[in-house]
Structure 1
Amino acid sequence: MIKGFKEFIMRGNVIDLAVAVVIGAAFTSVVNAIVANLINPLIGLLFKADSLDSALVLTIGGADFKFGAIIGAVISFLAVAAVVYFVFVMPMNHFKERAEQKRKAGQPDPEQPETELTVLAQIRDLLAEQGPASGAPTGRHTGE
Protein backbone atom coordinates (compact mmCIF):
# COMPACT_ATOMS: atom_id res chain seq x y z
CA MET A 1 0.00 0.00 0.00
CA ILE A 2 2.84 2.44 0.85
CA LYS A 3 4.66 1.46 -2.35
CA GLY A 4 1.62 2.34 -4.46
CA PHE A 5 1.23 5.67 -2.68
CA LYS A 6 4.91 6.46 -3.23
CA GLU A 7 4.58 5.69 -6.97
CA PHE A 8 1.48 7.91 -7.15
CA ILE A 9 3.26 10.83 -5.47
CA MET A 10 6.38 10.46 -7.58
CA ARG A 11 4.50 10.69 -10.86
CA GLY A 12 5.39 13.79 -12.82
CA ASN A 13 1.80 14.91 -13.31
CA VAL A 14 1.12 15.06 -9.55
CA ILE A 15 4.14 17.29 -9.01
CA ASP A 16 3.15 19.44 -12.01
CA LEU A 17 -0.36 19.80 -10.63
CA ALA A 18 0.95 20.84 -7.21
CA VAL A 19 3.22 23.45 -8.79
CA ALA A 20 0.31 24.74 -10.90
CA VAL A 21 -1.89 25.16 -7.83
CA VAL A 22 0.81 27.06 -5.93
CA ILE A 23 1.63 29.29 -8.90
CA GLY A 24 -2.10 29.82 -9.53
CA ALA A 25 -2.63 30.94 -5.96
CA ALA A 26 0.25 33.40 -6.19
CA PHE A 27 -0.90 34.55 -9.61
CA THR A 28 -4.39 35.29 -8.28
CA SER A 29 -3.11 38.27 -6.31
CA VAL A 30 -1.56 39.78 -9.46
CA VAL A 31 -4.76 39.41 -11.46
CA ASN A 32 -6.94 40.68 -8.61
CA ALA A 33 -4.68 43.74 -8.20
CA ILE A 34 -5.00 44.59 -11.88
CA VAL A 35 -8.77 44.16 -11.79
CA ALA A 36 -9.28 46.03 -8.50
CA ASN A 37 -6.94 48.91 -9.26
CA LEU A 38 -7.36 49.35 -12.99
CA ILE A 39 -10.46 47.67 -14.41
CA ASN A 40 -12.96 48.36 -11.58
CA PRO A 41 -12.19 52.11 -11.42
CA LEU A 42 -12.68 52.30 -15.19
CA ILE A 43 -16.04 50.54 -14.87
CA GLY A 44 -16.95 52.90 -12.00
CA LEU A 45 -16.17 55.89 -14.21
CA LEU A 46 -18.14 54.44 -17.08
CA PHE A 47 -21.27 53.68 -15.04
CA LYS A 48 -20.73 56.48 -12.44
CA ALA A 49 -21.22 53.99 -9.63
CA ASP A 50 -19.03 53.05 -6.69
CA SER A 51 -20.46 49.57 -6.27
CA LEU A 52 -23.13 47.56 -8.00
CA ASP A 53 -23.81 45.63 -4.78
CA SER A 54 -26.26 48.24 -3.51
CA ALA A 55 -27.73 49.01 -6.92
CA LEU A 56 -30.64 47.08 -8.46
CA VAL A 57 -31.98 45.61 -5.22
CA LEU A 58 -35.46 44.08 -5.39
CA THR A 59 -37.19 43.49 -2.06
CA ILE A 60 -39.97 40.91 -2.00
CA GLY A 61 -41.52 39.82 1.29
CA GLY A 62 -38.61 41.17 3.32
CA ALA A 63 -35.99 39.32 1.22
CA ASP A 64 -33.48 41.38 -0.74
CA PHE A 65 -32.57 40.14 -4.21
CA LYS A 66 -29.37 41.94 -5.16
CA PHE A 67 -29.28 41.77 -8.94
CA GLY A 68 -26.62 44.49 -8.96
CA ALA A 69 -24.28 42.21 -7.01
CA ILE A 70 -24.82 39.45 -9.57
CA ILE A 71 -24.16 41.81 -12.46
CA GLY A 72 -21.07 43.10 -10.62
CA ALA A 73 -19.79 39.55 -10.14
CA VAL A 74 -20.30 38.77 -13.83
CA ILE A 75 -18.50 41.98 -14.84
CA SER A 76 -15.69 41.18 -12.40
CA PHE A 77 -15.37 37.65 -13.82
CA LEU A 78 -15.25 38.99 -17.37
CA ALA A 79 -12.67 41.57 -16.32
CA VAL A 80 -10.47 38.90 -14.72
CA ALA A 81 -10.83 36.68 -17.80
CA ALA A 82 -9.94 39.60 -20.09
CA VAL A 83 -6.90 40.54 -18.02
CA VAL A 84 -5.66 36.96 -17.91
CA TYR A 85 -6.15 36.52 -21.66
CA PHE A 86 -4.87 39.85 -22.99
CA VAL A 87 -2.07 40.46 -20.49
CA PHE A 88 -0.78 36.92 -20.01
CA VAL A 89 -2.17 34.26 -22.38
CA MET A 90 -2.04 36.16 -25.67
CA PRO A 91 1.56 37.44 -25.27
CA MET A 92 2.70 34.01 -24.06
CA ASN A 93 1.11 32.32 -27.10
CA HIS A 94 2.82 34.90 -29.32
CA PHE A 95 6.23 34.18 -27.74
CA LYS A 96 5.68 30.42 -28.02
CA GLU A 97 4.73 30.80 -31.69
CA ARG A 98 7.85 32.86 -32.41
CA ALA A 99 10.04 30.34 -30.59
CA GLU A 100 8.46 27.50 -32.56
CA GLN A 101 9.08 29.34 -35.84
CA LYS A 102 12.73 29.89 -34.90
CA ARG A 103 13.06 26.23 -33.97
CA LYS A 104 11.56 25.09 -37.24
CA ALA A 105 13.64 27.46 -39.37
CA GLY A 106 16.09 25.52 -41.44
CA GLN A 107 14.60 22.14 -40.63
CA PRO A 108 12.84 20.02 -43.23
CA ASP A 109 9.08 19.86 -43.16
CA PRO A 110 8.11 16.83 -41.03
CA GLU A 111 5.13 16.17 -43.30
CA GLN A 112 7.50 15.53 -46.22
CA PRO A 113 10.18 13.10 -45.08
CA GLU A 114 13.53 13.23 -46.86
CA THR A 115 14.10 10.51 -49.39
CA GLU A 116 17.35 9.20 -50.83
CA LEU A 117 16.61 11.08 -54.01
CA THR A 118 16.33 14.45 -52.23
CA VAL A 119 19.52 13.78 -50.26
CA LEU A 120 21.39 12.88 -53.46
CA ALA A 121 20.04 16.01 -55.14
CA GLN A 122 21.28 18.12 -52.20
CA ILE A 123 24.73 16.51 -52.46
CA ARG A 124 24.79 17.16 -56.22
CA ASP A 125 23.83 20.80 -55.69
CA LEU A 126 26.52 21.27 -53.02
CA LEU A 127 29.16 19.74 -55.26
CA ALA A 128 28.06 21.95 -58.16
CA GLU A 129 28.36 25.04 -55.95
CA GLN A 130 31.92 24.11 -54.97
CA GLY A 131 32.98 23.72 -58.60
CA PRO A 132 35.29 21.07 -59.97
CA ALA A 133 38.16 20.27 -57.61
CA SER A 134 41.65 19.92 -59.02
CA GLY A 135 42.32 16.38 -60.10
CA ALA A 136 38.78 15.28 -59.32
CA PRO A 137 36.87 13.42 -62.00
CA THR A 138 34.38 15.60 -63.84
CA GLY A 139 31.93 12.81 -64.35
CA ARG A 140 32.61 12.69 -68.08
CA HIS A 141 34.17 9.66 -69.58
CA THR A 142 36.72 10.47 -72.31
CA GLY A 143 36.63 7.01 -73.78
CA GLU A 144 40.38 6.44 -73.58
Structure 2
Amino acid sequence: MTKLILTHEVSNLGEPGDVVEVKDGYARNYLLPRNYAIRWTRGAAKQVESIQAARSARAVHDREDADAIKAKLEAEPVNVSVRAGDGGRLFGAVTVGAIADAMNEATGSNVDKRRIDVGQPIKVLGAHEVTVRVHPEVTAQVRLNVVASK
Protein backbone atom coordinates (compact mmCIF):
# COMPACT_ATOMS: atom_id res chain seq x y z
CA MET A 1 0.00 0.00 0.00
CA THR A 2 1.18 3.51 -0.85
CA LYS A 3 0.38 6.55 1.26
CA LEU A 4 -0.57 9.63 -0.83
CA ILE A 5 -1.86 13.17 -0.41
CA LEU A 6 -4.61 14.01 -2.91
CA THR A 7 -4.20 17.25 -4.85
CA HIS A 8 -7.45 16.91 -6.84
CA GLU A 9 -10.85 15.45 -6.11
CA VAL A 10 -10.99 11.75 -7.02
CA SER A 11 -14.38 10.03 -7.10
CA ASN A 12 -14.86 7.36 -4.45
CA LEU A 13 -11.48 8.19 -2.90
CA GLY A 14 -11.37 11.69 -1.44
CA GLU A 15 -11.00 15.44 -1.67
CA PRO A 16 -7.85 17.56 -2.12
CA GLY A 17 -5.73 17.49 1.01
CA ASP A 18 -6.92 14.06 2.16
CA VAL A 19 -4.25 11.53 3.09
CA VAL A 20 -5.17 8.12 1.64
CA GLU A 21 -3.64 4.69 1.29
CA VAL A 22 -4.09 3.00 -2.08
CA LYS A 23 -2.61 0.00 -3.82
CA ASP A 24 0.79 0.53 -5.40
CA GLY A 25 -0.39 0.01 -8.99
CA TYR A 26 -3.27 2.49 -8.68
CA ALA A 27 -0.88 5.11 -7.32
CA ARG A 28 1.89 4.42 -9.83
CA ASN A 29 -0.27 4.03 -12.95
CA TYR A 30 -3.17 6.42 -12.38
CA LEU A 31 -2.95 8.95 -9.55
CA LEU A 32 0.69 10.05 -9.77
CA PRO A 33 1.01 10.38 -13.60
CA ARG A 34 -2.16 12.52 -13.76
CA ASN A 35 -0.96 14.70 -10.83
CA TYR A 36 -4.05 13.81 -8.81
CA ALA A 37 -1.81 13.02 -5.82
CA ILE A 38 1.67 13.41 -4.40
CA ARG A 39 3.58 10.90 -2.30
CA TRP A 40 3.22 11.35 1.45
CA THR A 41 6.38 12.48 3.22
CA ARG A 42 6.88 14.50 6.38
CA GLY A 43 7.69 17.55 4.22
CA ALA A 44 4.67 17.02 1.99
CA ALA A 45 2.44 16.58 5.03
CA LYS A 46 3.01 20.26 5.79
CA GLN A 47 1.34 21.09 2.44
CA VAL A 48 -1.90 19.43 3.53
CA GLU A 49 -3.03 22.54 5.41
CA SER A 50 -2.46 24.82 2.41
CA ILE A 51 -4.28 22.40 0.07
CA GLN A 52 -7.24 22.20 2.46
CA ALA A 53 -7.29 26.00 2.89
CA ALA A 54 -7.47 26.46 -0.89
CA ARG A 55 -10.25 23.85 -1.09
CA SER A 56 -12.31 25.56 1.59
CA ALA A 57 -11.90 28.94 -0.14
CA ARG A 58 -13.47 27.50 -3.32
CA ALA A 59 -16.17 25.47 -1.58
CA VAL A 60 -19.77 26.46 -0.99
CA HIS A 61 -20.09 26.24 2.79
CA ASP A 62 -23.79 26.67 3.42
CA ARG A 63 -26.42 24.13 2.34
CA GLU A 64 -28.93 26.93 1.64
CA ASP A 65 -26.46 28.66 -0.71
CA ALA A 66 -25.86 25.34 -2.45
CA ASP A 67 -29.60 24.84 -2.94
CA ALA A 68 -29.92 28.37 -4.37
CA ILE A 69 -27.08 27.75 -6.83
CA LYS A 70 -28.66 24.42 -7.81
CA ALA A 71 -31.99 26.16 -8.49
CA LYS A 72 -30.24 28.74 -10.71
CA LEU A 73 -28.39 26.06 -12.67
CA GLU A 74 -31.44 23.87 -13.22
CA ALA A 75 -33.84 26.75 -14.02
CA GLU A 76 -33.08 26.99 -17.73
CA PRO A 77 -30.64 25.48 -20.24
CA VAL A 78 -27.15 26.96 -20.51
CA ASN A 79 -25.96 27.86 -24.02
CA VAL A 80 -22.36 26.97 -24.92
CA SER A 81 -21.15 28.26 -28.28
CA VAL A 82 -18.30 26.40 -29.97
CA ARG A 83 -16.74 26.17 -33.43
CA ALA A 84 -18.44 23.51 -35.54
CA GLY A 85 -18.12 22.17 -39.05
CA ASP A 86 -20.64 20.77 -41.50
CA GLY A 87 -23.17 18.33 -40.10
CA GLY A 88 -22.90 19.66 -36.56
CA ARG A 89 -19.55 18.02 -35.78
CA LEU A 90 -17.30 19.99 -33.48
CA PHE A 91 -13.62 20.75 -33.90
CA GLY A 92 -12.54 18.74 -30.86
CA ALA A 93 -14.82 18.50 -27.83
CA VAL A 94 -16.53 20.95 -25.51
CA THR A 95 -14.15 21.59 -22.62
CA VAL A 96 -15.15 21.64 -18.98
CA GLY A 97 -13.69 25.15 -18.75
CA ALA A 98 -16.00 26.38 -21.52
CA ILE A 99 -18.98 24.82 -19.75
CA ALA A 100 -17.99 26.44 -16.44
CA ASP A 101 -17.58 29.85 -18.10
CA ALA A 102 -21.01 29.56 -19.74
CA MET A 103 -22.61 28.55 -16.42
CA ASN A 104 -20.93 31.41 -14.56
CA GLU A 105 -22.10 33.89 -17.19
CA ALA A 106 -25.66 32.53 -17.30
CA THR A 107 -26.27 32.23 -13.57
CA GLY A 108 -23.92 34.78 -12.02
CA SER A 109 -22.67 32.14 -9.58
CA ASN A 110 -19.13 30.85 -9.38
CA VAL A 111 -19.05 27.21 -10.58
CA ASP A 112 -15.71 25.45 -10.20
CA LYS A 113 -14.80 23.46 -13.31
CA ARG A 114 -13.41 20.66 -11.14
CA ARG A 115 -16.93 19.97 -9.89
CA ILE A 116 -18.46 19.40 -13.36
CA ASP A 117 -18.91 15.81 -14.53
CA VAL A 118 -19.51 15.56 -18.27
CA GLY A 119 -19.45 11.78 -18.62
CA GLN A 120 -18.79 11.13 -22.31
CA PRO A 121 -16.99 13.92 -24.25
CA ILE A 122 -19.42 16.26 -26.00
CA LYS A 123 -18.55 16.26 -29.72
CA VAL A 124 -21.83 17.17 -31.44
CA LEU A 125 -24.20 20.13 -31.40
CA GLY A 126 -27.50 19.87 -29.57
CA ALA A 127 -28.86 19.25 -26.10
CA HIS A 128 -26.72 17.51 -23.49
CA GLU A 129 -26.86 17.03 -19.73
CA VAL A 130 -24.01 17.37 -17.21
CA THR A 131 -23.81 16.90 -13.45
CA VAL A 132 -22.43 19.60 -11.15
CA ARG A 133 -21.47 18.78 -7.56
CA VAL A 134 -22.29 22.11 -5.92
CA HIS A 135 -21.88 20.82 -2.35
CA PRO A 136 -21.06 17.38 -0.92
CA GLU A 137 -24.79 16.84 -0.37
CA VAL A 138 -26.14 18.76 -3.40
CA THR A 139 -25.79 17.85 -7.07
CA ALA A 140 -27.44 19.62 -9.99
CA GLN A 141 -28.41 18.19 -13.37
CA VAL A 142 -27.73 21.00 -15.85
CA ARG A 143 -29.07 21.06 -19.40
CA LEU A 144 -26.63 22.36 -22.01
CA ASN A 145 -27.41 23.60 -25.49
CA VAL A 146 -24.27 23.31 -27.59
CA VAL A 147 -24.61 25.77 -30.48
CA ALA A 148 -22.30 26.71 -33.34
CA SER A 149 -20.53 30.04 -32.92
CA LYS A 150 -20.72 32.54 -35.71
- Output the TM-score relative to the length of structure 2: 0.22
Higher strand share: 2
Higher helix share: 1
Q: Which has the larger radius of gyration?
A: 1
| Higher RCO structure, 1 or 2 (CA under 8 Å, sep 6+) | 2
